[in-house]
Amino acid sequence: MTSLTAHPASALSPNLGADGTVEKVSRRRLKAIFSGSVGNLVEWYDWYVFSSFSLYFSASFFPSDDTTAQLLQTAGIFALGFLMRPIGGWMFGRIADKVGRKQSMTLSVLLMSLGSLLIALTPTYQTVGIVAPVMLLTARLLQGLSVGGEYGVSATYFSEMAAPHRRGFYSSALYFTLISAQLLALGIQLVLQNVLLTEAQLLSWGWRIPFVLGAVFSLVALYLRQNLTETEVFVTQQRLPEEQRGSLRQLRRHPRAILLVVGLTMGGTLAFYTFTTYMLKFLVNTAHMPKAAATNTCFLSLIFFAALQPLFGSLSDRIGRRPLLLGFGVLGALGTVPLLTALSTTTNPWVALALLAVALTIVSGYSAINAVVKAELFPVEIRALGIGLPHALTVAVFGGTAEYIALWCKGAGHESYFYWYIAGCIAVSLLLFLALPETRTASCLDEEQAG
């Protein structure tokens, strides 16, 4: 593949002299990644708070005496939100490749805040009947559209802003902030549960508080994203004809890269959503752990998980991306069933935490580096679209349905089928990992920056 762009050496070379240029570039890079990360954290907080608090608000929108049935209906809306993600991946990916990474990231956070505010203001089923779940679904679809674009554009932005020899480390900021968003959602839940409100108050109206906070947090994210620095790789590629940038026709010329994104995402996203987003419900509804104890366990496990992301990202800069992915594939395929089986039978929070620590260490082989691997597969003019669209399609099929399939299997009396389903998907991903080249040493980003 020939380089299509040239990147100014002054922005990337680690040896620019002693006049302070290196330091200025480093500060600019760190500021840009920090600002992008905060916005990413806020947007993913808005996305995850829905799942974190569904234990409390599901009864407000779906009349039933069966808790599992209420959770199943809420999980259905959670899954439907994922159906908008491919549209968001296409729409925001095109904007990012044609207009700019900065503009696309700013627009996505605006859309997410609107969805959170709508959920916060939606009346209950007892007040307005069927209108309530319809409004909830509308809000979730808006959020799905937004977050569908967020992943691809953020992965592109972090990878293009990073120094070549530190891409794995800096790109791990994507999942570090994504996990931190879950921590923020759970942290707010812990404060509301244990300090500010009773369970009755949370069930009645307190669940609205985190959605209001999400809308407020978005104002901070909007300010930061309006002041982002555009990547120089994108600025340089604007010399290309507009029809070549963010074009589905151009994307179709990279079928192998698209297939690799699908393979990277399938097993990884299913494992990620199972051991993070769904785990709180799993511990409460399957292991019968008290809500507060389950929340504490998930909170501590996510702190551990977040800390692993920069460590695994840095490791990939040293030994390559492929060994980490192969490790995730092998250990995930072999370890998922016994880990989930053990988690389903323990009510001891410390045992559950230890099991989750093992599971999340395995998942980190995917989560810490998948963004940079995908970015290294595509040229600059279709990078955001190339990452965002196939990733969002795969997440919609596998990640978005994880909760629903898990609860359906439980309702059918065969919950262990879900465990084997995850292991099988990771095994399929492993087959594609075997065909993946080592992108650390053969990257489209390197060709652009060397050009």
Higher pLDDT, 174 or 343: 343
249: phi then psi, degrees, rounded to nearest 5:
-65, -45
pLDDT one-digit tens code per residue, 244-273: 676 778 888 888 889 889 988 999 999 998
Cα separation of 150 and 357, whole Å?
27
Identify the pLDDT of residue 443.
57
Please report which confidence band the pLDDT of residue 79 belongs to, taking 50, 70 and 90 as the band edges.
Answer: low
Please report which confidence band the pLDDT of residue 359 belongs to, taking 50, 70 and 90 as the band edges.
Answer: very high
Identify the pLDDT of residue 338.
95
Please report which confidence band the pLDDT of residue 241 belongs to, taking 50, 70 and 90 as the band edges.
Answer: low
Please report which confidence band the pLDDT of residue 56 belongs to, taking 50, 70 and 90 as the band edges.
Answer: confident
Per-residue pLDDT, averaged over 137-152, amounts to 83
- 122-131, 248-257, 322-331: range with lowest mean pLDDT: 122-131
Identify the pLDDT of residue 13.
38
Burial of 43-77, coded b for 16+ CB within 10 Å and e otherwise, reads: bbbbbbbbbbbbbbbbbbbbeeeeeeebbbbbbbb
Fold for 22-228+249-450, please state it.
Growth Hormone; Chain: A; (1.20.1250)
Cα separation of 304 and 361, whole Å?
9
| CA nearest neighbour of 391 among 168, 175, 231 | 175
Question: Which ranges in 376-442 belong to alpha helices (H)?
Answer: 383-394, 402-411, 416-434
pLDDT one-digit tens code per residue, 369-426: 888 888 888 888 888 888 888 988 898 888 777 877 888 888 888 888 999 999 999 9
Identify the pLDDT of residue 426.
95
Cα separation of 62 and 343, whole Å?
29
Read off the pTM: 0.78
Dihedral sign for Cα atoms in the order 253, 450, 367, 115: negative
Please report which confidence band the pLDDT of residue 439 belongs to, taking 50, 70 and 90 as the band edges.
Answer: low
Per-residue pLDDT, averaged over 188-192, amounts to 85
Identify the pLDDT of residue 150.
82
Q: Which residue has the tokens 């500010």?
A: 196
Identify the pLDDT of residue 333.
94
Residue type, 58: S
Residue type, 61: F
Cα separation of 322 and 438, whole Å?
6
Identify the pLDDT of residue 324.
93
pLDDT one-digit tens code per residue, 303-320: 999 999 999 999 988 888
| Cβ neighbours around 322 below 10 Å, total | 18
Identify the pLDDT of residue 221.
80
User: 112 Cβ partners below 8 Å, 6+ apart?
Assistant: 42, 43, 46, 47, 142, 143, 146, 147, 150, 214, 218
Identify the pLDDT of residue 270.
92
Identify the pLDDT of residue 16.
42
Per-residue pLDDT, averaged over 146-171, amounts to 81
Please report which confidence band the pLDDT of residue 296 belongs to, taking 50, 70 and 90 as the band edges.
Answer: confident
Radius of gyration of the CA atoms of the chain, in A: 21
Cα separation of 433 and 451, whole Å?
29
Please report which confidence band the pLDDT of residue 14 belongs to, taking 50, 70 and 90 as the band edges.
Answer: very low
244 within 8 A of 309, measured Cβ to Cβ: no
Q: How does DSSP classify residue 172?
A: T
144 within 8 A of 83, measured Cβ to Cβ: yes
The alpha carbon of 353 is separated from its chain's Cα centroid by a whole number of angstroms, namely: 22
Cα separation of 260 and 56, whole Å?
39
Identify the pLDDT of residue 78.
65
Please report which confidence band the pLDDT of residue 7 belongs to, taking 50, 70 and 90 as the band edges.
Answer: very low
The top-scoring range by mean pLDDT among 85-94, 201-210, 350-359 is 350-359
Per-residue pLDDT, averaged over 100-119, amounts to 83
Identify the pLDDT of residue 38.
77
Identify the pLDDT of residue 428.
93
Higher pLDDT, 46 or 367: 367
Identify the pLDDT of residue 6.
35
Identify the pLDDT of residue 2.
34
Mean pLDDT of the chain: 80
